[in-house]
Amino acid sequence: MLPEKILFMKNILTYTLNKVKAGNLLTYSLVVPLVLLFATGVQAQADSTSPAATEMVAAATSELIAPSLELIPVQKADRTIDCKVKMQAKVKGVFYKLPLLKVNIVHVTPAGEMNLGHAITDRNGRAVINVKGDPLVADAEGKVLLKAIYAGNKQMEPADAEVAVKRALLTVNPVVVDSVYTIQARLVDISTGLETPIPEAALGLFVKRSFFPLKIGEGTTDAAGEASIEVPAHLPGDAKHNITLIARLDENELYGNLEAAVEQPWGTTVSDANIIAPRALWSTRPPLWMVITFSILVTIVWGHYIVIIYELIRLRKEEPHNTPEIS
């Protein structure tokens, strides 16, 4: 199909050049823009390659795809664990996210493996499985071994990932000291069944936003496993001044990731009323002078094309027709 379009474009160019040689500049002014637009479309069609099509071609090859499976456990304040998994595959040097795949989470113990649940990856190749932490059995080092398993299919090889973490608990307590909003966090080790403070641990404080949490403070636990982090004032909240504060311990060598959240009316209210934005360059309603200028320019440009088409039709009608002579 593509060579036929190129041949068609070549014929149009030949016709245009012949008209230029004959002195017909009107045809040249009309046909050349159309040829350029057509050439741009042909080039775009020749160069476009969708990721979905590339992934389907790679899946159709004789070799199985080797997916990459990542497991990140996050210990919550309610003693549960969010097992976050991510699946992707590298095909011909390009990473592709793998949606709609079933991933199982198992707990590995000396007695065997215990299935904790499963989930289906979303369009970004991610899934979250929440499991209860109390039934988990620790090994001799006090660590809990979790394993994510993908069984594979006709196009992909099986994959798995293991993570071992010690059980810990992070709790937060919101307080107001001298009109200053403060989050008091406490981090303890619960791998032995007792609460043992964890000192010298770096904690971060985040506020929940529309896309990703925003970091607003940090602190280090003392000998009692406690840390106080001040919350900045005038953070945007909802219509009821509520903001969601999240304390986190990220990528610790022994305890992995821990998280605790609390909602407090410490923010400034943000109106959710549907107010018409003013006419400005930054809003969706541009200024009137810009709308008028744009309309005039578009009218002028398209007006030239209308005049050209009208003149072509008029010249066509005025072209003399040679009648055959009767002998």
Higher pLDDT, 206 or 17: 206
pLDDT (average), residues 8-34: 53
**Consecutive H or E run containing 6:** helix 2-21
More confident residue, 258 or 139: 258
> Which residues lie closer than 8 Å to 189 by C-beta, 6 or more apart?
166, 167, 168, 195, 196, 197, 198, 255
Pairing of strands 256-264, 67-75: parallel
Q: What are the pLDDT digits (tens) for 65-80?
A: 888 899 999 999 998 9
Using a cut of 0.75, tell me whether the model's pTM lies above it: no
181: left (phi over 0), alpha (psi -120 to 50) or beta: beta
Examine the pLDDT at 270 and tell me if it is beyond 50.
Answer: yes
Of 45-59, 73-87, 225-239, 257-271, which range is least confident? 45-59
Contact 174/183 with Cβ under 8 angstroms?
A: yes
User: What was the pLDDT predicted at 26?
Assistant: 45
- How many angstroms separate the CA atoms of 32 and 38, rounded? 10
Average the pLDDT over each of 11-15, 16-20, 301-305 and give the range with the smallest value: 16-20
Instruction: Summarize pLDDT for 55-109 with one digit per residue, the tens.
Output: 443 444 457 888 889 999 999 999 899 999 999 998 888 888 989 999 999 998 8
